[in-house]
A = this chain, B = another copy of it.
Amino acid sequence: MTKADTRQKILDAAEVLFAEHGFGEVSVRQVVHEADVNVASIHYYFGSKDALIEEVLSRRLTPLNEERLRQLSAFEEKASKSGTTITIEDVLYSLVGPAVRLSRGTEAGRHFIRLVGRMFAEPSDSVQAMLKARFEALFRRFNEAFKQALPGVRRKDYFWRLHFVIGAMSLTLCDSQRPALLSEGACNPEDVEEVIAQLVAFCAAGMRAEAPKKRRTR
């Protein structure tokens, strides 16, 4: 067995187990058992369990965010060629499309994406710091694009709505089965383009909403 094989087997097994049960609940011994390698391999290749977690995440997160930026650039170029500006649907499509496709393509992608969704609800400082580092560039780029697509929306309203978009997206990535269960089969979570279209339509309408007014507290 070559070096690459063992590393890969550990990462694959860890991805599945972490997605299924969370970081804290999965022991390195479960990982090495599933990967069919020795206990010491994890520390030989990664140094520690925490370092392994980092590796599991960055392995797929980097290409995913690159793809998002690629799609966004393509939409912007297309718009500028036709003398228009990018639409909110285009921006959302670039943001959620690659992620949903990854989450529904292979079994590995499904596990990984659930892992990311789980992390967004994870308040632990180390995880949040990691997320921030990996998403900062993406965030700045999409902020500009959203601004262009939503000229009339106030700054404050925009940031709240971005937060809601992230929430809707996270849950959709993290839990693919609930809509099917709740609707008793009417929703098909495996119809990737349908999921994307639903998510984009919902978020675009929410983003474009009238500025909210507070109610009297009851």
Residues of chain A at the chain B interface (Cβ within 8 Å): 19-22, 24-25, 71, 93, 97, 114, 117-118, 120-124, 139, 155-157, 159-172, 174-175, 178-179, 182-183, 186-187, 192-215, 217-218
Across-interface contacts of A213 in B (CB, < 8 A): 197
Q: Given that A22-B122, A201-B210, A212-B197 are known contacts, is A167 also in contact with B172, CB under 8 Å in the complex? A: yes
Identical copies in the complex:
2
Partner of A206 from B118, B179, B203 at Cβ < 8 Å: B203
Contact indicator B198/A161 (Cβ below 8 Å): yes
Contact indicator B202/A179 (Cβ below 8 Å): no
Contact indicator A120/B171 (Cβ below 8 Å): yes
Contact indicator A197/B214 (Cβ below 8 Å): yes
Q: CA–CA, A175 to B213, complex, Å?
A: 23
Report the minimal beta-carbon distance from A194 to chain B, rounded to whole angstroms. 6
A and B contact pairs by CB, cutoff 8 A, 18 listed:
A21-B24, A121-B170, A121-B171, A121-B174, A139-B182, A155-B186, A156-B183, A160-B198, A160-B202, A161-B198, A161-B202, A163-B171, A163-B182, A197-B214, A201-B210, A202-B209, A202-B212, A205-B206
Q: CA–CA, A114 to B121, complex, Å?
A: 9
Contact indicator B167/A121 (Cβ below 8 Å): no
Q: CA–CA, A213 to B196, complex, Å?
A: 10
Q: Given that A114-B123, A203-B164 are known contacts, is A194 also in contact with B214, CB under 8 Å in the complex? A: yes
Q: CA–CA, A156 to B182, complex, Å?
A: 10
Q: Given that A156-B187, A161-B202, A183-B156 are known contacts, is A123 also in contact with B214, CB under 8 Å in the complex? A: no
